[in-house]
Amino acid sequence: MNAKPALWLALWLPWGLAAAGCTGSQSGPPQQSSMSTELLGARQALDTALHQCTTTYGYSPQQAANIPEHALAPNELAWNQCAYNAVGTYEKANPQLAPMYEKLVTSYQQMTNQITQGTLTRSERKAQTQQQLQAIQQAEHAEIAAANLQQAQQNQQQQNVIDTIRMLGAPGFSGMGR
């Protein structure tokens, strides 16, 4: 599994995303689709944006372990809003899964309010959010695998056409393809 997407998950919103993993693989299929390349590029941009949120607000979800269960860390709400904005930008790169991200952000906001009201703990929020993230991760893995499969099938179809033309002895095709 690629360490870079795992890093952005560890930084992404304060709900313990490190356990969720991520999509993509540097050693994946030799024919990655342009869609998977675009998604991985968007993830890198998300990682950068979240790092900027941490720099700007001085809050890191990874260093919030000592916060009481029914309290928010200093600058946590500002960091959350910055992270929500970054996720909103990322959603545009993957509109098929945008409803899942929107649901994640909305439920996270509701759970954060419950923490401040004392009706939910940080640990409960983290556990509930990780379930949503695992569903998103599975959907993203499936989406990228389908795009890569489609790209491989298109490549094979193109190669079949070239092979057929070559078998027919068409001039100019003897050096093409394989």
Integer distance in angstroms from the first to the last C-alpha of the chain? 30
Residue 45 within any structural domain of the chain: yes
Structural domain total, the chain: 1
Asked if 176 and 166 count as a contact pair (C-beta separation under 8 A), the reply is yes
What does the CA dihedral 103, 105, 109, 110 come to, rounded to 10 degrees?
10
| Residue 173, domain member (yes or no) | no
Residue 178 in domain: no
* Position 66 in a domain: yes
State the pLDDT at residue 63. 82
The pLDDT value recorded for residue 172 is 62
Is residue 174 a part of any domain in this protein?
no
pLDDT of residue 28: 41
Amino acid 31: pLDDT = 53
Residue 93, in any domain of the structure: yes
Query: What's residue 174's pLDDT?
Result: 57
Residue 22 near residue 9 (C-beta atoms within 8 A): yes
In this predicted structure, what is the pLDDT of residue 155? Answer: 87
DSSP string of 48-72, one letter each residue: HHHHHHHHHH---GGG-TTS-TT--
Residue 62 is given by DSSP the state: G
Within a domain: 172:
no
The dihedral of CA 8, 12, 15, 20: what is its sign?
negative
Domain of residue 158: give its range: 3-167
pLDDT along the chain (178 residues), means of 10: 38 36 38 72 88 95 88 95 93 89 95 96 93 91 84 88 81 56
- By 3-state DSSP, what share of the chain in percent is helix, strand and coil, each rounded to 5? 70, 0, 30
pLDDT at 127: 93
22: left (phi over 0), alpha (psi -120 to 50) or beta: beta
